[in-house]
Structure 1
Amino acid sequence: MVNASGIDYEAVFQALPSAVALFTTDLVYADVNEAFLSSMGRTRDQVVGRYLWDAFPDSQDLAVTGMRKLQASLRWVAATGERDAMTLHRYDVERSDQPGVWEERYWSPVNVPVFGPDGRVALLLHREEDITELVRTRSGRGGGDRATVLEAELYTRARELQEVNERLREAHAREREVALSLQEAMLPALRPLRHHRAAVRYRPAVGALNVCGDWYDLIDLSGDRIAVAVGDVVGHGLAAAGVMGQLRSALSAASRVADGPAQALEALGLYARSVDGAESTTVVLSVIDCTNHTITYSIAGHPPPALLHPDGTVDFLDQATDPPLGARPEHIPRPQAETPFPEGAILVLYTDGLIERRHEDIDAGLTRLADSLTRHQGTDPETLADALLADLIPPAGATDDTAMVVVRL
C-alpha cells in the first residue's frame, strides 16, 4: 500500500528486521513479515489465515507455557486497548522438517493494539525478539547441553516475574469482583414510573480494575414530575464505587427539595468538596414535567442527554453545560435549560463509555449515538437499550464503564 507521501508500508512491514505478525481480534494471523517466517521456520501458507494455537501449538512439555501466555496477553490487549510488554519466556518451536522435534527457544514479545477509524481495536501487532542465542552465549552453552547456572538463574527470574504479574492480576480480578458486587448493590432497581416506561443498563469495563463509579437514578418528585440522573466518578474500583454511592444518595435527596436541577447540582457540588475522590465527577440531572411536557436539565461536565423525537430526529440537550463537580474553587450558580417534548419521545441519559473512543473526537461518538437512535425509533425502551449497547459498545467490550437510562415520555 502506497500512501499520499509515497511510502510503501507493505514493503516497510516486510523489511522490518524483527519478527512481526498482525492478528485479528479473534487471534487469527492476518499477516506476517519475512523475518517472522524465517525465525519460526514456517511458510506463509502455514501461518496466515490460521488461529494462533493451530499454527503454533504448545509443545508436550507442560512446563513450557509460552503460547498460552501469549494468547492471554493478546486477548487482554484486544479487550483493553492497552499495550502489553511480556516478560522473557520460553516457547519451543517444532521443526518443520522434523515433526515431533522441538527446538528450545527464548523470546521477548510485545503486543500492541491497532485502532480502526471507529476507535475500536481492529488488529493486534505482535513483535517477537528471539533472544535464544543471547541466553546460550551468556550461559556458555554450545547448543545441546541442559541448563547452566546462569541460564537457570535467568529463566527462574523471568518465571518469578511472570508469577508475580499473574498474582497481581488475580488480586486485581478479586478486587474487581468485590467492587462490581458493591456497585450492583448500590444501583437502584427500576421501579414503576407512573405512566412512563423506562429501561436502565450498567455495563462494566473490560479492564482488570477500570470499573465502577458510573451510576444512574430515577426519582419520583411532587406533582406529575420525575427526575432522571446519570453520573460518572473519576477513578475506579472499590474507592470509586464508594464515592458513587455517596453522591447518588446525596443527589437523590437534593433533587427532592431543590428548586430545579441546577440548584440540586449546586448542592451536590458543595457536598462533593467534603468527599475524597468526588472531585471532577460529571453528572447530568433532568426533571421531566409530564403535565407541561417539558424537560428541565443541568449538566456538570457530562455528555448531553439525547432526545429522540417520534419522527426519528435527535436533539442533544446541551444548552446548560458547566464544569464537573468541584472544578471551580468558588461557588457559582449552575445553568439550567428547558425544552419541550412531544408525546412518545424518548429521553436517553448515558455515561461516556457509550460514545467515547480512544483517539477520536467526541462528536463522532455523538453522531453514532444519533444514528443508532434514529434506526431504532419506534422500539420500546428495553429493546432500544439493548440495541444501543449492541451498536455502540465494541465487540471486545468497552475500556470504560457504561451506565444508561432510557425513558419513553
Structure 2
Amino acid sequence: MRNPQIDYAAVFRALPGMVALLTPELVYADANDDFLRLAGRTREQLLGRYIFDVFPENPNDPAAAGRRETEASMLRTVATGERDTMALLRYDIEDPERPGHWQEHYWSPVNAPVLGPDGQVVLIVHRVEEVTELIRVFGGPGDDSRARVLEAELYTRARELQEVNERLRRAHAHEREVALALQAAMLPAPGPAGEHAAAVRYRPAVGALNVCGDWYDLVDLPGGNLAIAVGDVVGHGLAAACTMGQLRSALSAACRVADGPAQALEALGLYARFVEGAEATTVVTTFIDWDSHTITYSCAGHPPPALVDPDGTVTFLDRATDPPLATRPEHLPRPQAHLPFTEGSTLVLYTDGLVERRTEDIDTGLARLAGSLAHHRHAAPETLAEALLTDLLPPTGDTDDTALVVLRL
C-alpha cells in the first residue's frame, strides 16, 4: 500500500479550532480558516503583520492584561523551545466594521514551538479556544466566581479533548503508535520548575496494544508555587490515552483555581463522573509552598509520593488517602495533609508500574523504592530518574506503563 500524498497546507487550513502560525518576532505567517472566521479578520489583514498591531489591547480597559500575558507566553516558548499553556484570559477585539467598538472575548490559548534543524524555534503554533459564550453562560471572572471560571475551563478542555477522543477511537490501524503520539503530545516537556531542577519520565508498557493512561503534570501556581500531579487511568490502548488527556487537562485547570489539592481532586472527581472510562482512575496531587517549605497533598487511591531527605530518610506521603475517582455513590470532601521539607530534599511522584508486581506485595515494591532513593539521594534529578527506572523496572520491560516525576526541593 502506497503512502498517501498529504497536502499539509490544506490540512492546516481545515483544522478544527483556531490555529495560527507566528514567527519568533510575533508576526503572523499563516492562520487556518477557523482562526480567520472567529477572529473576524481576512488572511490579508493578518499575514506579515505584528500580532498586537492586528489585535491591539482595549484602550478603554485600564485593567487589561491580555497583551502582556500573551506576549510573555509566546516569548517563553521562543526562549525555552517548549509548549506554554496559558490560563483563561480576557482579550477584547475591536470590531473591524466599527472602529472604536470593542467586543468582549475570552480565550484559552496554547503556544507551541516548531524547531528548525539547528534546534532553534522558527515558528510558534498559536492555538486558541474561544470560550466567550461559555463564560457568559457560567458568569465571567468579574463575578468573582472561581467555581464558574473552573467550570468554563473544565468544559473547554473536555470539549476539545472529546473531539480528539471520538476521532481517534475510530482509528484501528497503528493504535499503539497513535496512542503513544497522543500521550507525548499531551504530557508536558521536562524542564526546570522555577529555580528547582526537575526530571520527568514516561515508559510505555511492553506489548502491541498495552499503552496505558498514565500521566504527570507540573502546574505553576500563584505566588510562584508549584503543583505536581501523577495519575493512572484504568485500561489500555487508545481509549485510556484519550481519557488520560481529558483528566490531565481538567486537573491542571482545577489546580490553578483551587484552594488546595483536596479541592482540586474534588472538582476532578465530579468531572470524572461524566467522562467515559474515567471511573476508578487513581491520582495524587501535591502543592509545594516554597516560602513555608511545606508540601500539601491529597491522594485518590494512588501510590504515595516519596520524600527523601539529604540524610537518606525516606517518608511516604500516605496520610491523606481516599478512594479513586468516581467510585463513591455520593460526593464527599477529600482529605489533605501537610508535610514540611528540608531544602535539598527530593520529592518523587510515580505510577504503580514503578513499584507493583503481580507476584509480590506492594510493600515490597515500596521498600525497593525507598532503598533506591536513599542510595541515589545526592544524584541530580535527571540522574536519579534514570537510576530509579534501572533499579525498579524489570530489564525485559513491564506490562504496565510508568510515569515518574523527580523534583529537587
**TM-score, with length taken from structure 1:** 0.57
Deviation at 1:223, TM superposition (A): 1.0
Deviations 1:327-369 (A, max 9, x none): 1010000000000000000000000000000121100000000
Deviations 1:268-326 (A, max 9, x none): 00000000000000000000100000000000000000001000110000000000000
Contact 2:353 2:400 in 1 (8 A): yes
Contact 1:218 1:226 in 2 (8 A): yes
**TM-score, with length taken from structure 2:** 0.57
Contact 2:191 2:197 in 1 (8 A): no
Give the match for residue 375 of structure 2. 375
Q: Give the Cα–Cα distance (whole angstroms) in 1 for the partners of residues 248 and 347 of structure 2.
A: 20
Q: Which amino acid aligns with 2:266?
A: E
Deviation at 1:173, TM superposition (A): 8.3
What pairs with 1:260-409 in structure 2 (closer than 5 Å)?
260-409=260-409
Contact 1:224 1:291 in 2 (8 A): no
Give the match for residue 76 of structure 1. none
Q: Give the Cα–Cα distance (whole angstroms) in 1 for the partners of residues 173 and 205 of structure 2.
A: 12
Aligned residue-pair number:
239
Q: Tell me, what secondary structure is at the counterpart of 1:234?
A: strand
Task: List structure 1 runs of 4+ shifted beyond 3 angstroms.
Answer: none
What pairs with 1:7-406 in structure 2 (closer than 5 Å)?
174-406=174-406
Q: Give the Cα–Cα distance (whole angstroms) in 2 for the partners of residues 191 and 255 of structure 1.
A: 19
Q: Give the Cα–Cα distance (whole angstroms) in 2 for the partners of residues 236 and 186 of structure 1.
A: 17
Contact 2:202 2:402 in 1 (8 A): yes
Q: Give the Cα–Cα distance (whole angstroms) in 2 for the partners of residues 377 and 281 of structure 1.
A: 30
Contact 1:173 1:208 in 2 (8 A): no
Q: Give the Cα–Cα distance (whole angstroms) in 1 for the partners of residues 296 and 327 of structure 2.
A: 23
Q: Tell me, what secondary structure is at the counterpart of 1:363?
A: helix
Q: Give the Cα–Cα distance (whole angstroms) in 2 for the partners of residues 173 and 338 of structure 1.
A: 47
Gaps of 5+ in 2: 1-170
Contact 1:309 1:344 in 2 (8 A): yes
Q: Give the Cα–Cα distance (whole angstroms) in 2 for the partners of residues 332 and 377 of structure 1.
A: 38
Deviation at 1:237, TM superposition (A): 0.8
Deviations 1:207-240 (A, max 9, x none): 2212130000001101131000000000111111
Contact 2:262 2:298 in 1 (8 A): yes
Deviation at 1:172, TM superposition (A): 8.2
Contact 2:284 2:299 in 1 (8 A): yes
Contact 1:172 1:208 in 2 (8 A): no
Q: Give the Cα–Cα distance (whole angstroms) in 2 for the partners of residues 394 and 216 of structure 1.
A: 21
Deviation at 1:371, TM superposition (A): 0.4
Q: Which amino acid aligns with 2:393?
A: I
Give the match for residue 20 of structure 1. none
